[in-house]
Structure 1
Amino acid sequence: MTGDRAGHEIVYSEETISTRVRELGSEVSDAYSEEDRLVVIGVLKGSFLFLADLVRAIAVPHEIDFLIASSYGDAMVSSGQVEFRCDPRTDVKGRAVLLVEDVIDSGMTMSKLVPRIESLGASRVDVISLLHKRVSAESLEPRWVGFDAPKSFLVGYGLDHAEAFRHLPYIASI
């Protein structure tokens, strides 16, 4: 790990992330067919960079949508309450859905989100997370994980602290 000028400790470099996202795209492509009518839904705001790179690495046809759900607000620790601010607009009834998350910490957001998408009639709901902190043994286990992450607070590549640091091309600990 190396530090940068801002005092962050780089945990995953831009190159490491790029390589892993391409691998994940290949794995996702192998898991779906055209008949699944895949809808890839990014959980905003944190997943937007991961989602942008991931969908370009997925070879099967798919649609893209977004939703907004959060349990952090501006805090560095989950509030324990999941707030839904925007549902996807795409009709997912009878379709496979891949929920794209930036980081699974307590797993609370996904434990509320998966049943919500299932209730909309999705034929299948899978989760892919760039990072998994494995904080809780009871947290939802995503089908795909980019990296097992340290339990420190991470920023960059879409992850933020109070809306700062999302633009960084790497992931760092603060």
Structure 2
Amino acid sequence: MGKNTVFADDIEEIIISEEKLKTRIRELGEEITAAYNEDDDIVMLCILRGAVLFMADLAREIDLPVVFDFMDVSSYGASTESSGVVRIIKDMEENIEDRHLLIVEDIIDTGRTLKHVVDMLHTRSPKSIKIVTLLDKPERRVQKELEADFNGFEIPDKFVVGYGLDFAEKYRNLSFIGVLKEKMYS
């Protein structure tokens, strides 16, 4: 397993290696660069906390000027299921009126939380809203009309951690995406 061996007994399998992450993020950066013009005013909005590592690496692969902002949104407790209640813990600070907004998300699962955020941000009159997600679980999607404009990896409905994704605030610093053993969260 290499790095992060302290968690070796907690991980059932590695589904996306560090190398695959790096390669796909480079490709996503190229796709995003091609989707905008050089003079577009782009705000990258990182959804905290899970998307921090992804945004940091992705931003370095985008060959355009971008502004960073952050939003902390919660619909999860310490368990694996969403509470259904969306709370804005930290709102973004940038004014996005007439600017291009690129929402950077770690994973789209049911889509409920992200749909709430997108609907709210539309009221702020951005020029456009695009979504980039590292991981997508389409079989869990409740909000069928919600799709990412840029998608890193489609994954099966398994409980994954690593590269920013956590369980009870642990495992975020893994350099890969792994499936957490069921005994760790059940």
d(CA) in 1 for partners of 2:85 and 2:92?
Answer: 20
- Structure 2 residue 65 is the aligned partner of structure 1 residue 61: yes
1:106 has 2:89 as partner: no
Per-residue deviation, residues 35-84 of structure 1 (Å, max 9, x unmatched): 32000000000000000000000001110110011221211111122111
Q: What one-letter code is carried by the residue in structure 1 that aligns with 2:66?
A: H
Identify the residue that residue 13 of structure 1 maps to in structure 2.
17
2:141 alignment partner AA: S
**Structure 1 CA distance for aligned equivalents of residues 74 and 36 of structure 2:** 28
> Structure 2: any 5+ residue segments left out of the alignment?
181-186
Question: Any conservation in 1 of the 2:42–2:67 contact (CA below 8 Å)?
Answer: yes
Return the match for 2:122 from 118, 142, 161: 118
The residue type paired with residue 41 of structure 1 is L
Q: Residue 156 of structure 1 is aligned with which of 155, 162, 166?
A: 162
Determine if the alignment matches structure 1 residue 147 to structure 2 residue 153: yes
Separation in 1, partners of 2:107, 2:74? 11
1:127 match: 131
Aligned length: 173
Q: Are 1:165 and 2:171 matched, yes or no?
A: yes
Instruction: Give distance in 1, aligned partners of 2:141 and 2:92.
Output: 28
Contact persistence 2:41–2:100 (CA under 8 A) = yes
1:31 is aligned to 2:31: no
TM-score by length of 1: 0.94
SS at match of 2:84: coil
Q: Output the TM-score relative to the length of structure 2.
A: 0.88
Partner letter of residue 121 of structure 1?
S
The one-letter code of the counterpart of 1:116 is M
Describe the SS at the equivalent of 1:80.
strand
User: Is 1:51–2:88 an aligned residue pair?
Assistant: no
Paired amino acid for 1:52: A
Contact preservation (8 Å) 2:112, 2:143: no
**Unpaired segments ≥5 residues, structure 1:** none
RMSD: 1.6
Give runs of ≥4 in structure 1 deviating > 3 Å: none
Show the counterpart of 1:136. Answer: 141
Larger Rg: 2
1:72-83 matches, within 5 Å, as 72-83=76-87
2:129 partner amino acid? V
Q: Does the aligned pair in 1 maintain the 2:112–2:142 contact within 8 Å?
A: no
The C-alpha deviation readout for 1:94-136, integer Å capped at 9, x for no partner, is 0000000000000011111112111112110011110000112
Distance, in Å, in 2 between the alignment partners of 1:7 and 1:156 is 11
